Chains A and B, each alone.
Chain A
């Protein structure tokens, strides 16, 4: 990635986002400490941190094919689980001491079933995530989190006291706060950081120890506070979508002149726009409420489309967005229908919207460039 950010912190973030194993994880493992992988941002990382483990968000970064995972999945399955599982079959995830899966979507939930049959990761669990967000569902997820807590205690021989969990929540909230600060810098007319660079920072936050990440992010924010951004862009864009963890995708968009100034995505604002309530005396209940109800939702959670579009509108307004791109991975039922509804709503608001389908591993760059250019020209023609 081309960047004018000079800090060592950013270099480490970039390195973490461009590979699965990175020096921070290696150093952690060298200390004899454990790493637990997880899928989906509804799995509470705080529990792993409280257990003294490194929570690692699973990705298929670096995968070039799916020749191994094709025996398990099918051509109509999303490329994200196929590539991620392929990496696992190739041994890229042999460093994991555990894995927690969740029924986030039809494709990803089957990673659990295939993983337990094909790989020898010692601790593999699957959680049941509700679809709705009411009190009974918070109660259900509260029980699920307590079950996970017990499983972590038993397997890793740790005591997950309320205090330890509360501390981990505090740390994660601090991280969220810093990440939000990073985003707020992009409200400026000349943001000091691009969308691609921001994604690298956010992805790195799911791939290194939290305390270390917090220190590095603080360092980065210091540099960015002094940095002058460029006004050399054609339009300010918002990115809507799901599992996007490759900054190169956004880089292509931005090279055409569309600066991504904000988003609502799995590795983006939805991770940190809200915080866990630290005033709640039961930290598990606080986590349950946060992950089910309080944080900005994705279309996997039922009945919240009005809130999601309101969040999108608010972000678009706050960040003075000229147009919105809704990306989705092919075969994703959740995002294809979400984009359909979003387009209708944004039409009413007269906010330009473009839906883009993609594969998990960057491909069809020429097509992407063409579509983005066409979209930017439309925005310019509107006099934005």
Chain B
């Protein structure tokens, strides 16, 4: 599917323009499987890796405060040749050199897989919102922006953009096995640069909306729950949900007091 190919191309041009404009670029290359991406990371990645929240007082650096500038998008294609798998590009200051800062933040994930299709779209979009899956990294629950905090503890362990990039690539590849290539762009130079990037990918939001609309057309439905389990014809479905809840509880860790059982 080529709906985002035009934007992938535009982002590539943006990167070239940033380089030729003199912006300091740092590149890392980590092609490979989720296991390879996770190997040697200073922090945990996966469900409930970050069980708590990052309080303001515990924040080492803030990324993407709307006043500082924020932009995020995920672009995908069924032509993975358009993407350099494992490439993380950073323009601007890294996390370790930004203690107590509130950085402008642009994040573009470019994802490819020969078998990627519209049915993967929602899963991929949700991958950007990492919830509790990266230790020491909390994405704030504000729907319009990607606005996040990195904790002091995580920073002390060496958390930087290379770490974040690898973690994101791991989560995308784990969450959508059809993905064979992921490339990440981070921009922390200035609000103007982030705004320009946002301008480039603003058309993506409309495409996302259209795809969502089309995807819902393919779904089926359930009937009302009548609360009387013994006579309810949906008991099987309820049982499935219960099994999912139990599985989820097991996945998310111990029964320690105050933590999620």
Residues of chain A at the chain B interface (Cβ within 8 Å)? 70-72, 116-120
Given A71, A117, A118, A120, which contacts B223 in the complex, CB threshold below 8 Å?
A: A71
B256 within 8 A of A: no
The answer to whether A118 touches B221, judged by C-beta atoms less than 8 angstroms apart, is yes
B216 within 8 A of A: yes
- Chain B residue at smallest Cβ distance from A115: B217
The answer to whether B217 touches A72, judged by C-beta atoms less than 8 angstroms apart, is no
The answer to whether B213 touches A116, judged by C-beta atoms less than 8 angstroms apart, is yes
The answer to whether A71 touches B217, judged by C-beta atoms less than 8 angstroms apart, is no
Main SS of chain B's interface residues?
Answer: loop
- Give complex CA distance A119, B221 in Å: 11
Q: Write 18 A-B pairs (CB below 8 A) sorted by A numbering.
A: A70-B223, A70-B224, A71-B221, A71-B222, A71-B223, A71-B224, A72-B221, A116-B213, A116-B216, A116-B217, A117-B216, A117-B217, A117-B219, A118-B217, A118-B219, A118-B221, A119-B217, A120-B217
Additional pairs, 13, CB under 8 Å, beyond known A71-B222, A119-B217: A70-B223, A71-B221, A71-B223, A71-B224, A72-B221, A116-B213, A116-B216, A117-B217, A117-B219, A118-B217, A118-B219, A118-B221, A120-B217
Residues of chain B at the chain A interface (Cβ within 8 Å)? 213, 216-217, 219, 221-224
Main SS of chain A's interface residues?
Answer: helix
- Give complex CA distance A278, B211 in Å: 40
- Which B residues lie within 8 Å of A120 (CB)? 217
- Give complex CA distance A70, B224 in Å: 8
> Smallest distance from the beta carbon of B236 to chain A beta carbons, Å?
16
- Which B residues lie within 8 Å of A72 (CB)? 221
- Chain B residue at smallest Cβ distance from A118: B221
- Which B residues lie within 8 Å of A118 (CB)? 217, 219, 221
- Chain B residue at smallest Cβ distance from A113: B216
> Smallest distance from the beta carbon of A189 to chain B beta carbons, Å?
54
- Give complex CA distance A116, B223 in Å: 18
- Give complex CA distance A72, B216 in Å: 14
- Chain A residue at smallest Cβ distance from B216: A117
- Which B residues lie within 8 Å of A70 (CB)? 223-224
> Smallest distance from the beta carbon of A82 to chain B beta carbons, Å?
14
- Chain B residue at smallest Cβ distance from A89: B221
- Chain B residue at smallest Cβ distance from A121: B217
The 9 closest A-B pairs by CB, nearest first: A117-B216, A71-B221, A71-B223, A116-B213, A116-B217, A116-B216, A117-B219, A120-B217, A117-B217
- Give complex CA distance A140, B213 in Å: 24
- Which A residues lie within 8 Å of B222 (CB)? 71
- Which A residues lie within 8 Å of B223 (CB)? 70-71
- Chain B residue at smallest Cβ distance from A70: B224
- Which A residues lie within 8 Å of B213 (CB)? 116
- Which B residues lie within 8 Å of A119 (CB)? 217
